Amino acid sequence: MSFDLLPPDADDARLERIHQLLVDDPTLVERVDVRENQWHCSIFDAERWQVTQPDGQVGERDIVLHNGGAGVCAVRDGKMCLVRQYRVALGRMTLEIPAGKLDADEDPAICAARELTEETGLVAERLVPIAISRSAPGFTNEATRIFYAEGLSQHPASPDSDEFVAVVWVPVEEVVAAVRAGIVQDAKTVIAALFAEGLSK
């Protein structure tokens, strides 16, 4: 299963206006001339790119290359499935939708199904693509594909040996309120929460 969002309505003028704003503009486009690897690890590669800027000047860009990830918006009885975990990079606890990183060339739906079951024990009959999140396009190509889970059933969870998470079910309106208050900040979870809010309207 590939990650395919619903095709846009050909007559949707709103989307056509957005598409026009995203056509390459020669007064804004940078050309990549040289790429040099700076760092490689199990999660990402860091490269330094030499670019020619629109005004002809040469610039440098430090870029993080990442396989991306997949996350799942799972809602049952008006409550959203979230995982509590400590994120050492932030130095605090977070609430996030179940998610994980893609293996090289992995189908995002397979990744999403695996992470959902490993972290929460939930199995979905169907995963519906709802959005793509790029949380830091200024320096990384990382993209998280977000799915909505339909037909949930509960099975035993089996998180990775170095993964310490606790599953909680939180009313959707409380998650959305936490997003708007700046308490829940994770980009994929913000998108999933706003999607879940729309389901109840």
Percent of the chain with pLDDT over 70: 95
Q: Which has the closest alpha carbon to 111: 94, 99, 123?
A: 99
Categorize the per-residue pLDDT at 180 as very low, low, confident or very high, splitting at 50, 70 and 90.
very high
Same domain, 117 and 175: yes
Q: Is 91 helix (H, G, I), strand (E, B) or coil?
A: coil
| Residue 86 vs residues 71, 93, 196: alpha-carbon distances, Å | 18, 4, 24
Shared domain check, 191 and 159: yes
**What pLDDT is attached to residue 161?**
73
For 19-77, write each residue's pLDDT tens digit.
889 999 999 999 999 999 999 999 999 999 999 999 999 999 999 999 999 999 999 99
Residue 5 lies in a domain: no
Q: For a pLDDT cut of 90, what percent of the chain falls above it?
A: 82
CA distance 188 to 190: 5
As a whole number, mean pLDDT of residues 125-153 equals 96
Q: Are residues 34 and 45 in the same domain?
A: yes
Residue 148 lies in a domain: yes
Query: Residue 32 is which amino acid?
Result: V
- What's the number of domains the chain is made of? 2
Is residue 84 over pLDDT 90?
Answer: yes
- CA distances to 5, 69, 76, 83, 187 from 167, rounded to whole Å, are 28, 19, 14, 5, 19
Per-residue pLDDT, 2: 54
Does 8 fall in a domain?
A: no
Query: Which DSSP string do the residues of 5-71 spell out, in sequence order?
Result: PPPPPTT-HHHHHHHHHTS--TTTPPEEEEEEEEEE-SSEEEEEEEEE-TTS-EEEEEEEEE--EEE
* Domain range for 48: 13-66
Q: Which residues pair with 132 in a beta bridge?
A: 145
What value does the mean pLDDT of the chain take? 93
74 and 62 fall within a common domain: no
| Residue at token pair 């708007």 | 180
Pick the closest to residue 54 from 82, 30, 78, 83 (CA basis).
30
Question: Averaged over 148-162, what is the pLDDT?
Answer: 87
Same structural domain for residues 56 and 155? no
User: For residue 49, is it within any domain?
Assistant: yes
Same domain? 170 vs 125: yes
The answer on 30 and 96 residing in a single domain is no
User: In a 3-state reduction of DSSP, which class is residue 179?
Assistant: helix
Flag whether 2 is in a domain.
no
What pLDDT, on the 0 to 100 scale, is given for residue 8? 61
- Asked if 63 contacts 139 with a C-beta cutoff of 8 angstroms, the reply is yes
Asked whether residue 26 is assigned to any structural domain, the reply reads yes
| Strand partners for 138 | none
Q: Please report, for the domain that includes residue 109, its CATH number.
A: 3.90.79.10
- Per residue in 120-136, pLDDT (tens digit) is 999 999 999 999 999 99
Residues 113 and 190 in one domain: yes
Q: Which of 66, 94, 110 is the last residue of a domain?
A: 66
Same domain, 55 and 77: no
Higher pLDDT pick, 54 / 158: 54
pTM above 0.75, yes or no: yes
